[in-house]
Chain A
Amino acid sequence: MAHKKVIRNGRVIDPSQGIDRLADVLIEDGKIVEVTNAPLESIAEDHEVIDASGLVVSPGFVDLHTHLRDPGFEWKETIESGTKAAARGGFTTVCAMPNTDPCQDSAAVIEDVTRRSLTGAAVRVLPIGAITKGRHGKVLSPMGELAEVGAIGFSDDGDPVSDANIMRQALTYATGLGLPIINHAEVHSLVHGGVMNEGPVATRLGLPPVPASAEAVMIARDIELAALTGGRLHVPHVSTAAGVELVRAAKSRGLDVTAEVTPHHLTLDDTWVYGLHGEVPDAVPAVAYDTNTKVNPPLRSVADVAAVRAALADGTIDIIATDHAPHAATDKVCTYDEAAHGINVLETAFGQVMQLVHQDLISLSDLIDPLTAAPARILGRNFGTLAAGSNADIALLDIDSEWTVSADDFASLSRNTPLEGVQLKGRVVETLFAGESVWRSDRLEQPAS
C-alpha cells in the first residue's frame, strides 16, 4: 500500500514555484503529490499527519559546499555524521568537497563516496570532483570520467588553481560537460602567511593579515578566463566588497558566473577573533585569539559583511553555502597561527542566516530561495522544490524559536563553532528526506508558544 503523508497547516514557501501561503503538502511514496488548499475532509484517512501549524514548510536545503572528511579524516566527520548534521540543519542535499584522502580525483573515489552514501547517509550526497589530479593544480583530473560517475562540478577546494593556463584549460574542458568550475578565490602570494583579515583587529592582535585583494585579484582573473572560455565559473564563499563588485560586473556582462556566500561571512566580522562574540575590548583578553573563528577566507570587516548581505539581497550572490568544515579539538586547541581553517556550520546555518530576515534585510522567501531553488538551478537538478513529482525533501522551520548553540548537542563529530553559547532565532524542527523523517526536534511535540 502506498505510504501517504500530509503536512498540514504550515506556511508553505517554495520559491521555485513562487508559493508563499498557508497550505497542506501531500506526499506519497516519498514524492510530492501537491501543495494544496483543499479542505481537510477531502484528504483520506490513510494519510499520516504532520501538524505544521505555526511552522514554515520549505523545500529541504541544498548545500553546494560541504566537507564530509570521508574518506581519510573520519575522526573529524564521516558521511554518516556529516549527513546527520545536515539533516539537523534542514539540508537534504549536500555536495561533498573533494579534499578527502584519497582526494576525489578518480572515478573510484567518487564511486566509493556515492556508494557508501546510498546506505550510510541520512540525506543525499553529491560528490564534487577535483579540478586537477591530487588537487595540485598541475594536470587536469579525468573530468569526463568523474562526471560520468556523478560529480556535479569541479573544485580543488582550499587549493586555488594558481596557474592561469590550467584554470583556462579547466574552464574550457568543463564546457563539454556543462559543469561548473569552483575555484577557491585566493592568491597565495598575497596571503603570505596571513591568518586573519587585514585591518585594525589584525594589527591590534599582531596576527599576520590577509588582504581582501587576495580574494578579489583571483576572482577578477577567473572572471576574465570565464569570458575567454565561455566556461561556467562558480565563485565559492565570496567574502569581500571588492569580490561582490567583480561578480556583479561579470553578471552584467552576461557571463556564466555564479557565486555563494557562507552563513558566517553573512553574520560574523573579524572582531569575533577577540573571542567576545563581536564585542571589541579595551584590553585583549585571555579568551582572544578564538581559533574557532579561523576560517578561509577569513572573517572580514563590518563593511564587507554589509556588502555580502546586500549582494545576497539583490541577487548578485546566488546562493548560501555552508563551507561546513569540521575539525577535531586538536586542530583548534592551539595558537591561532597553528589552528586549522574552518567552521562547523551545518547545524547553526539556518539560525544564523535568519538574522537577515529578523533584521528586515531580506524577506523569508528571498532567504529560502538561495538555500533551495537557486543552488538546485546551479546543479541543474530537480531538488530544492515542492513541485509535484519531485522528491519529498522538506524542512519544517520555526522561524521565531530562540535557542542557544551548544556544540555538545551537534550530530557532527566535531565541535568547532565560534557560536558556542550564542542565542540564535530560528530553528529547523523537522527534516524529511524522500518523505521520511531524518531529523525531528523535541520542539515539535511542544507547540511553539
Chain B
Amino acid sequence: MTTRDEVRTTKPDNGVADAGGGRVIEPDAQPQASAQIRHLLDVDSLTPEQITTLLDSSEGMLEVLSRDVKKTPALRGKTIVTVFYENSTRTRISFEEAGKILGADVINVSVSASSVSKGESLYNTALTLQAMQVDALVIRHPHSGAPHFVARYVNAPVVNAGDGLHAHPTQALLDLFTLRQKLGSMDGKKIAIVGDVLYSRVARSDILGLVKMGADVVLCGPPTLMPAGWRPGVSPTETGMESVRIAGDVGEALDGADAVMTLRIQRERQDAGHLPDLREYSNMYGINRRRLALAKKDAPLLHPGPMNEGVEISSDVAHGAQSVVEEQVRNGVAVRMAVLYAICSKGRDRAAGTDE
C-alpha cells in the first residue's frame, strides 16, 4: 500500500505507470486535457499529480455543466458502455450524463444479480464487449476485483464504478474535488469518516485518495464494522495506512475536523449480527447537529448517498448549511466527465499508434 511518505517523495516524471500493469506510457503533453490514465480501477494507481490534473480538468467540466447548451464534441464518435451488475441510479445516471455531455454515445446495460448465475459469465461478457470495439467500459459489480478481471480481457479502458467492498474511485475523486472546493489544499487537513468502514468501498477509496493528497484521516464506526485489527490506538504499520487513525468514539473523531464524511449504513448489517439495531447505531454514530458542532465551524458534511436520514445522518444536517451532498452529486458528473475524457482521449492516442 502506498504510504503518505512514499507519495510525497513521488516526483512528476516523464512517464507514469498505468493502472493496468506497470507499463510506462508517454508523458502528458496537455496536462489540462488529460491525466493520461489507461484504466481507472482505483485511486491507488494515480499519482497525486494525476489526481490534481483530473481535478483541474473537472473545474472546466463543471463550467460546461453550467452552460445553457450542455454539449461538447470532445468524445463524438466514441461509444461508452456502462455495465451495472448492481442496482444503482445515481452513479449510472452520473456516468451517462457525463458521457453524453461530452458527445459520446452511451449504452447502458443493467444485469440483475439473479440472472448472473444462470446467464453469461463475466468472461464472455468481456469478450463480447471487446468484439464490439467499445471505447470505454464502465463497470459496477458486487464482487471485488471484477473490473480488474474485465480489464485483463478487453483493450478498452475500464472505469471501476464500484466493485464489491473494494473500491469506488470516481466517488473518491468527486469527494476530493468537493473538499478542494471547500478547503483548498488537503495538506494536514483532518477528515473524519464515520460509519461502516468494513463494507464500504467508498471508505476504502476515499482513505487512499485523502492520504495520497496529504490529509490526516480519522475513522470511527462500530468495532464490528471496522476491518480486522483496525481498533483505536492501532499503529499505522498494522493497518498499512500511514496518517490514518481510528477514534474511540464519534466525538473524538469529529473534534476539530475540517470535514466530516458519513457512510451509508445498510440494513443487512443488522441481520448479519454486526449491529443490535439502527436506533442504537444512530444514537452512537449518527451525525446530528450536536455532533457536527464538534467539527470546525463551516466544516463541510459529505455523504455518498443515498442517505438513510435519521440513521447515519439527521435530516436537519443532511439538508443544513454545512451539507454538500447536492454539490457532490453535481461534482460527480464533472469528475466523471474528466475521467472519461482522460481515458477516451488516451484511447484515441492508442488508435493513432502513439502508445505501446
Contacts and interface: CB of A to CB of B under 8 A. Distances in A.
26 contacts: A200-B238, A200-B240, A203-B227, A205-B166, A206-B144, A206-B166, A206-B201, A207-B164, A207-B166, A209-B228, A282-B1, A283-B17, A283-B19, A284-B41, A284-B44, A284-B167, A285-B19, A285-B21, A285-B148, A286-B20, A287-B152, A288-B148, A333-B123, A335-B145, A338-B122, A338-B143
Contacts of B2: 282-283
Given A203-B227, A286-B21, A335 B143 contact: yes
Band of interface residues on B: 35 or more
A213 to B, nearest CB: 11
Contacts of B238: 200
Contacts of B240: 200, 203-204
A338 B146 CA distance: 10
Contact of B145 (A192, A211, A288): A288
B204 interface: yes
A289 B123 contact: no
B6 to A, nearest CB: 7
A158 interface: no
A15 to B, nearest CB: 40
A145 interface: no
Nearest to A204: B1
Contacts, number: 100
- Which secondary structure dominates chain A's binding surface? loop
A144 interface: no
Given A199-B228, A207-B164, A289-B149, 20 more contacts: A203-B230, A203-B239, A206-B204, A207-B144, A207-B166, A209-B228, A283-B42, A285-B21, A286-B19, A286-B148, A287-B152, A288-B148, A289-B145, A334-B122, A335-B146, A335-B149, A336-B144, A337-B144, A337-B164, A338-B122
Contacts of B166: 205-207, 284
A199 to B, nearest CB: 7
Contacts of A286: 19-21, 39, 41, 148, 151-152
| 10 cross-chain pairs, A with B, having the tightest CB-CB distances, nearest first | A206-B166, A289-B145, A206-B165, A335-B143, A283-B45, A283-B44, A206-B144, A203-B227, A337-B143, A286-B151
Interface in A280-304: 280, 282-289
Interface string A270-288: 0000000000101111111
A198 interface: yes
A150 interface: no
Interface in B1-16: 1-2, 6
A330 B121 contact: yes
Nearest to A335: B143
Contact of B144 (A205, A287, A330, A333): A205
B346 interface: no
A202 B22 CA distance: 22
A203 B166 CA distance: 8
Contacts of A203: 227-228, 230, 239-240
A208 B164 CA distance: 9
B141 interface: yes
B272 interface: yes
B148 A334 contact: no
B94 to A, nearest CB: 21
B196 interface: no
Interface of B: 1-2, 6, 17, 19-22, 39, 41-42, 44-45, 121-123, 141-146, 148-149, 151-152, 163-167, 201, 204, 227-230, 238-240, 272
Given A198-B228, A335-B143, A337-B143, A284 B148 contact: yes
Contacts of A206: 144-145, 163-167, 201, 204
A333 B127 CA distance: 12
Nearest to B121: A334
Contacts of A207: 144-145, 164-166
Interface in A420-449: none
A207 B17 CA distance: 25
Interface of A: 192, 198-200, 202-209, 211, 280, 282-289, 330, 333-338
Nearest to B152: A286
A200 B22 CA distance: 22
Given A203-B227, A206-B165, A334 B123 contact: yes
Contacts of A284: 41-42, 44-45, 148, 166-167
Contacts of A211: 228
A203 B148 CA distance: 17
Contacts of B22: 285
A333 to B, nearest CB: 5
A81 to B, nearest CB: 24
A392 B115 CA distance: 55
A282 B143 contact: no
A211 B229 CA distance: 11
Q: Which residue, B19, B143, B240, has most C-beta atoms of chain A within 10 A?
A: B143
B20 A285 contact: yes
A200 B239 contact: yes
A334 B149 contact: yes
Contact of B148 (A199, A202, A282, A289): A289
A317 B346 CA distance: 55
Nearest to B205: A206
Contacts of A285: 19-22, 148
Contacts of A283: 2, 17, 19, 42, 44-45
Contacts of A334: 121-123, 149
A260 B21 CA distance: 37
Contact of B44 (A200, A282, A335): A282
Contacts of A205: 144-145, 166
Contacts of A338: 122, 143
